[in-house]
Amino acid sequence: MTTLIKSATIIDSNSPFHKQTKDLLIIDGVITEINDNINSKKDYKIVDLDNLHVSTGWFDTSVSLGEPGFEERETIDNGLHVAAKSGFTSVAINANTNPIVDNKSSVEYLINKAAAKAVSVYPIGALTQQSKGIEMAELYDMQQSGAIAFGDYKKPIENENLLKIALLYAQNFDGLVLSFPKNRKIAGEGIANEGVNATKLGLKGIPNLAEEIQVARDLFLLEYTGGKLHIPTISTAKSVALIKEAKSKGLNVTCSVAVHNLLITDEALFGFEANNNVNPPLRTKKDVDALIKGVKNGTIDIITSDHNPIDIEHKKVEFSISKSGTIGMESAFGALHTKLDLDTIVACLSDNPKRIFGIENQHIDVNKEANLTFFNPDTAYKFTTEDILSTSKNSIFIGHNLKGKAYGIYAKNQLLLNT
């Protein structure tokens, strides 16, 4: 297949064509020419879209798809369709399925199920057997089958010695360990940020301390063991400060933030909309400001949609009994571009996550494999259910004004566009 991309502004700080508007010719999945004007031939597939921008393909490091076990929430087929139309050429799949992805067969199932898709799937294997936090799972076997990291999704590792052993063991094969930042005993039965707004609303609170004490503990363990630690979806100002200090010491620690925690505060809780029930909870403006600063100064490496489809039976209920989680791939770029510049967004959606999770990143240049995201950064709109492609509709961004939309992707010699 030969594809000609017309008048695309390239956003790739590692490309010699960064911020230049060029035509790109792709033949059988490889960029063969980049020039000011490339003449079309009748058998070319032409991509000529309004205000077209192109970057290296985006990689979402925290995606839940339900299958196997929770297909009513989302299937792999539809989930990868959503990812492609949302601009993601790669996704890391969380281990919160049924059965839990805690062995090589489960890892291979996910990879084989998605083998023919344009979007690449990278499973995150459970760190512990059945994500129960008791016995370490088969980490090496899972890595040999294609797992790129190991963590129990939204479940903290309460046994400090278990995390210590995991960090030590994973160094034998350069494995990346994930540790969700939450002290369950301090968080208790909380469902919202502990503070003035939770008190006004009569909601049980989760203090910032529940996250920060876990982050501090994990950093102490990392300093002792060495190895690689990734802390997913931090949400407080103190967490940012702790990780910044650890990085200054030379510890091999990285972290991510979810799009919604980066942009929405706990003021949104008024109205008791269950889509605002997320884990970690929405925090204060002080926290949000610190998270944005952390992204801009490089303390926070990755931004994830933390895409987590929840079926209507568990979401369209009272806030206090609803299941936490929000979908986020469809709204990720448009939400981020209301606060961040394109270079920062692409770094946190593409360059950094691929580097940290060990995924090859082909930058935009001649004779490079085409792994591309297409988008228009200037489309302004209000996000509604009509914009949702996921089976589950539990989006925290419904009703929010966004700026920017993905057109689609080119990956694995496949072109998938919204138009």
- How confident is the model at residue 32, as a pLDDT? 97
Q: What is the largest CA-CA distance in the chain?
A: 66
Give the number of C-alpha atoms closer than 13 A to the C-alpha of residue 403, restricted to the C-beta side: 10
Helix axes 237-248, 208-225, angle to 10 degrees: 10
Q: Measured in Å, how far apart are the chain's first and last C-alpha atoms? A: 19
| pLDDT confidence band for 346 (50 / 70 / 90) | very high
Type of residue numbered 183: N
Task: Please say if the pLDDT value at position 55 is more than 90.
Answer: yes
Task: Please say if the pLDDT value at position 245 is more than 80.
Answer: yes
Exposed, middle or buried: residue 177 (CB in 10 Å: 0-12, 13-18, 19+)? buried
Two tokens at 307? 């895409």
**Strand positions, DSSP E, 281-399:** 302-304, 372-382
Two tokens at 319? 């806030």
Q: Domain 2-53+366-417 carries which CATH code?
A: 2.30.40.10
Average pLDDT of span 11-32: 97
Q: What percent of the chain has pLDDT over 90?
A: 98
CB contact burial 148-159 (16+ within 10 A = b; e otherwise)? bbbbbbbbbbee
- How confident is the model at residue 9, as a pLDDT? 98
Task: Give the model confidence (pLDDT) of 253-306 as tens digits.
Answer: 999 999 999 999 999 999 999 999 999 999 999 999 999 999 999 999 999 999
d(CA 188, CA 165): 26
Angle made by CA atoms 85, 88, 92, in degrees to the nearest 5:
130
Task: Give the model confidence (pLDDT) of 144-175 as tens digits.
Answer: 999 999 999 999 999 999 999 999 999 999 99
- How confident is the model at residue 49, as a pLDDT? 97
Task: Please say if the pLDDT value at position 230 is more than 90.
Answer: yes
d(CA 69, CA 49): 39
- How confident is the model at residue 301, as a pLDDT? 98
Q: What percent of the chain has pLDDT over 70?
A: 100
| pLDDT confidence band for 225 (50 / 70 / 90) | very high
- How confident is the model at residue 1, as a pLDDT? 86
Q: Name the residue ranges covered by the structural domains of the chain.
A: 2-53+366-417, 57-356
Average pLDDT of span 353-362: 95
Active-site residues, by number, are 306
- How confident is the model at residue 41, as a pLDDT? 87
- How confident is the model at residue 189, as a pLDDT? 95
For 57-356, CATH number out of 3.20.20.140, 3.40.50.2300, 3.20.20.370, 3.40.50.720 equals 3.20.20.140
Q: Are 282 and 257 in contact (CB under 8 A)?
A: no
| pLDDT confidence band for 385 (50 / 70 / 90) | very high
Task: Give the model confidence (pLDDT) of 358-384 as tens digits.
Answer: 999 989 999 999 999 999 999 999 999
Taking phi over 0 as left and psi of -120 to 50 as alpha, with beta for the rest, 308 belongs to: beta
Mean pLDDT of the chain: 97
Two tokens at 231? 């802390």
The pTM for the full model equals 0.96
d(CA 15, CA 154): 36
- How confident is the model at residue 419, as a pLDDT? 72
- How confident is the model at residue 375, as a pLDDT? 98
